[in-house]
Amino acid sequence: MDTVTDGLKGLKLDQKPIYLLKTPSLPSDSYEHYFNELSNGSYKPIFVPVLEHIFRDDALRNLKRSAERFAFAGGSEATARQVATNNPAKRYGGLIFTSQRAVDAFGSVVVKLDPTKKAALFDKDMPIYVVGPATRKGVEALELPCPILGEETGNGDALAKFILQHHNSLPSHVTALKGRKLPLLFMVGEQRRDIIPTTLQSEDLPETQRIPVTELVVYETGEMATFEEDFTDLLKEAKAAKVEEQWVVVFSPQGCEAMLNALGWLTEAGKYSSGRREAVSGPMKTRVATIGPTTRDFLREQFGFEPDMCAEKPTPEGLGEAITK
């Protein structure tokens, strides 16, 4: 796995560097695998971490305690033992993940649970909703007995609509307890969009169709202090190696300003300048792609910069289709 610390080591003459401005997913990253194979190895994926994620230990301690007290079980046959031991009733009707970091945070809780009790602690019918293949893969690695749904949706808006349709079609023993509709637990970072809870709890919906959502902040995010310096060093290395073409892939609004600064494309007023881009690029072509419309629109609105490509789907395949057009 090539990261910023490896630089352009091993770059072949016919390869194009593709800088993935993200932390690689563990144990393997689907973007790395995809771009290593794309166009017969014409691209060299290099991870440049932009954000650092800090888990909220207090939230995760409470989450572990809740799981051990059957917060995710109690509405199905799997938890007959719950009644016998007088544990608290089931608290949630499902889980929602739109972030790999939230999956990682939850995973740090799951690994501390007794693996022989997973079937008792998590109802086999309780849905886990995910926004894409990466989050699905992360949840699958936790080896919970629950169904994992929604990976084809690709964004929060589409996932919310999917949840409304799917969850309201489930039997009451999954979605409710003693006549009360159970909320979905949505694990998030402190910076997030509210499209999912807003859509699921909209007052425009009939009351019977609304789905309560409990948001739990399990991690905090900040831009890495060394990101701009690390990225600048990579660009200098590419110039010295006489790279003819390279791609920069942006995954979130965080780090956009530092990225454009490192490229030398911003004016003193903090706006994009095509003249500066042309002047500093020389013979090397540097193109920018975004993983989706949210980041693209942020670059447009904040800096007046139009990315070269925007992936239609936030997946390795969607990104690959965009940059090979």
pLDDT of 157-214, one tens digit each?
Answer: 999 999 999 999 999 988 988 888 999 999 999 877 789 999 999 999 999 999 999 9
Give kind and range of the element (H or E) at residue 47.
strand 43-47
The partner residues of 216 in beta bridges, in order of sequence, read: 187
- Residue of higher predicted confidence among 8 and 20: 20
Query: In this predicted structure, what is the pLDDT of residue 88?
Result: 53
Query: In this predicted structure, what is the pLDDT of residue 5?
Result: 52
Query: Do the beta carbons of residue 219 and residue 102 sit within 8 Å?
Result: yes
Q: What is the pLDDT of residues 24-74, one digit of tens each?
A: 877 778 899 999 988 778 899 999 999 888 999 999 999 999 999 889 987
Is the pLDDT at 86 greater than 70? The verdict is no
Q: What is the largest CA-CA distance in the chain?
A: 74
pLDDT-derived band at 1 (thresholds 50, 70, 90) equals low
- Residue of higher predicted confidence among 286 and 5: 286
Query: Do the beta carbons of residue 250 and residue 21 sit within 8 Å?
Result: yes
How far, in whole angstroms, is CA 55 from its chain's centroid? 15
Query: Do the beta carbons of residue 90 and residue 70 sit within 8 Å?
Result: yes
Is the pLDDT at 268 greater than 60? The verdict is yes
Alpha helices of the chain — where are they, by DSSP H? 30-37, 57-68, 80-85, 100-110, 118-121, 133-140, 156-167, 172-175, 195-200, 227-240, 256-263, 274-281, 293-303, 316-323
Query: In this predicted structure, what is the pLDDT of residue 204?
Result: 96
Mean pLDDT in residue range 122-151: 95
Whole-angstrom Cα distance, residue 165 to residue 171? 13
Query: In this predicted structure, what is the pLDDT of residue 300?
Result: 97
Query: Do the beta carbons of residue 139 and residue 130 sit within 8 Å?
Result: yes
Query: Do the beta carbons of residue 88 and residue 180 sit within 8 Å?
Result: no
Is the pLDDT at 80 greater than 80? The verdict is no
Whole-angstrom Cα distance, residue 82 to residue 26? 34
The partner residues of 266 in beta bridges, in order of sequence, read: 272
Scan for tokens 């971490």, then name that residue.
Answer: 49
User: How much of the chain exceeds pLDDT 90, in percent?
Assistant: 69
Sequence-separated (6 or more) residues with CB below 8 Å from residue 29: 1, 47
Mean pLDDT in residue range 134-159: 94
Going along the chain from its start, the domains and CATH numbers come out as 16-50+224-323 (3.40.50.10090), 54-221 (3.40.50.10090)
Mean pLDDT in residue range 275-291: 93
Whole-angstrom Cα distance, residue 198 to residue 215? 11
What is the overall mean pLDDT for the chain? 90
Q: What is the pLDDT of residues 229-252, one digit of tens each?
A: 999 999 999 999 999 999 999 998
**Token couple for 78:** 């799997």
> How distant, in Å, are the alpha carbons of 121, 185, 277 from that of 217?
22, 10, 39
Is the pLDDT at 96 greater than 50? The verdict is yes
Is the pLDDT at 148 greater than 90? The verdict is yes
Query: How many helices and strands (H and E) does the chain possess?
Result: 14, 13
Query: In this predicted structure, what is the pLDDT of residue 178?
Result: 80
Q: Apex CA 11: angle with CA 290 and CA 48, to 5°?
A: 40
